[in-house]
Amino acid sequence: MRLFIFACIALGHRAIATGVSGEAFGMATGTTGGGSATAAAPSDTAELESWLSDDVARVILIDKAFDFTDSLGTTTGSGCYQDCDVAQGGQDYIGTLSCSGSTMTALSDIEYYAAGASPLLVGSNKSIVGVGTEGVIKGRGLRVYGATNVIIQNVFVTDINPEHVWGGDAITIQEADKVWIDHCKFSLIGRQMIVTGYDAAGHVTISNNEFDGNTDWSATCNRQHYWTLLLLGAKDYCTFYGNYLHDLSGRAPHYGTTDNDATNVFHAVNNYFENMAGHAFDIGPNTWSLIEGNVFSNVTTPMTADSTEQDSAIFNVLSGSTSECASVIGRDCVENEVIDNSGSLTGVSDTTALTYLAEAGTEYIMSASSTSDVASSAKANAGIGKV
């Protein structure tokens, strides 16, 4: 203890990070990342890229801003915009895929950074850990692809072609298992902040992250980011805990899969949704949800109407019915709360959702707290510089 205190004093305010803080919980329980490998900071973007993708178990310290923005130069493509263009606070859409429809205006010369659309590959057995508030990856996202056992903690991923839809995602999880994304922050991303699918994403815990939707380029033309989380994997077991989502206008989160053999589950616990002129939950088929202990403050649409019409089930009560959970998951569920001019949340108490959650493994079901401290706790703990 005395030695530890001395080291802190000697290093002044410089944070000493030697690796991951805490242990993975929820669906990603057992995820160890680079384990006990010696922590080291890459010297530049090229070394970071190589360490992320090689076959070596690593604890990679992100101790400064690694700026990939112009690392692959710029490229030009055609596309379109809808409603408002980039100069008026909108986003344009690279490529012609989504350009049909009378409200779309074609563009022939969209210039964007090539790096944004070419994410960094992340291999198995990696811990990617930000140091203090210094850990920033800019201009290029992370793609956990064909890999297992990855921890991304205390990293700020930002500024990936924010003017352009299809300009890049912050974190992609595909053909994976055991991924823990904890205490990260996301802002100014062209497309999704976190995306999975259509392959299996496996067991994933997304905890204590800040999803900051403030932007000058909004697909919904209201300075709020629309593309938050899109989880479409055919085998997704997700715990979504303690996150702070704000100033967003959609897909916060969207999940569901068209794979009718899937038994996906989504357990949302104690998240805080604030100031959203759009929707939070948008749920598709074949994913069973327990949504408990969450607070929606000044959120226009806490859950889309379509969410309750899907071939899957939801348990998300606002009051009562919580004791129905005890016989299925061994404890009562926790009520959600909708406050401060939010739209209504349709409360559903379909215990089939709990059955699927229990079948995924009771060891993966984390506990939930009441909503009383959720707002203050999410604001105090979510994002970078807090571990």
Ligand X SMILES: *[C@@H]1O[C@H](CO)[C@@H](O)[C@H](O)[C@H]1NC(C)=O
Residues marked active site are found at 251
Q: Does 369 help bind ligand X (rule: CB under 6 A)? A: no
Identify how many contiguous H helices and E strands the chain contains and give both numbers: 5, 29
Stretch near ligand X under the rule CB under 6 A, chosen from 194-202, 270-278, 345-353, 371-379: 270-278
Q: Does 31 help bind ligand X (rule: CB under 6 A)? A: no
State the number of binding residues for ligand X (CB under 6 A): 10
141 bridge partner residues? none
How many other C-beta atoms lie within 10 A of the C-beta of residue 293?
23
Under rule CB under 6 A, which residues in 133-172 are in contact with ligand X? 149
Stretch near ligand X under the rule CB under 6 A, chosen from 3-11, 117-125, 352-360, 363-371: 117-125
Nearer to ligand X, 124 or 205 (CB): 124
Stretch near ligand X under the rule CB under 6 A, chosen from 90-98, 118-126, 262-270, 371-379: 118-126
28, 232, 277, 338: which one binds ligand X (CB under 6 A):
277
138/153 Cα distance (integer angstroms): 15
SS3 385: coil
How many other C-beta atoms lie within 10 A of the C-beta of residue 67?
15
Closest to 311 measured CA to CA, from 256, 368, 382:
256
Closest to 214 measured CA to CA, from 187, 193, 189, 191:
187
Stretch near ligand X under the rule CB under 6 A, chosen from 121-129, 134-142, 171-179, 357-365: 121-129
Quote the least distance from Cβ 123 to ligand X, whole Å: 6
Q: Does 124 help bind ligand X (rule: CB under 6 A)? A: yes
254/304 Cα distance (integer angstroms): 10
Nearer to ligand X, 340 or 373 (CB): 340
Q: Are 138 and 114 in contact (CB under 8 A)?
A: no
CA distances from 14 to 7, 59, 67, 131, 237 (A): 10, 19, 21, 9, 37
Under rule CB under 6 A, which residues in 49-108 are in contact with ligand X? 55, 57
Q: Does 355 help bind ligand X (rule: CB under 6 A)? A: no
* Six token digits for residue 169: 């995602």
69, 71, 75, 275: which one binds ligand X (CB under 6 A):
275
Q: Does 125 help bind ligand X (rule: CB under 6 A)? A: yes
**What residue ranges bind ligand X (CB under 6 A)?**
55, 57, 123-125, 149, 275-277, 298
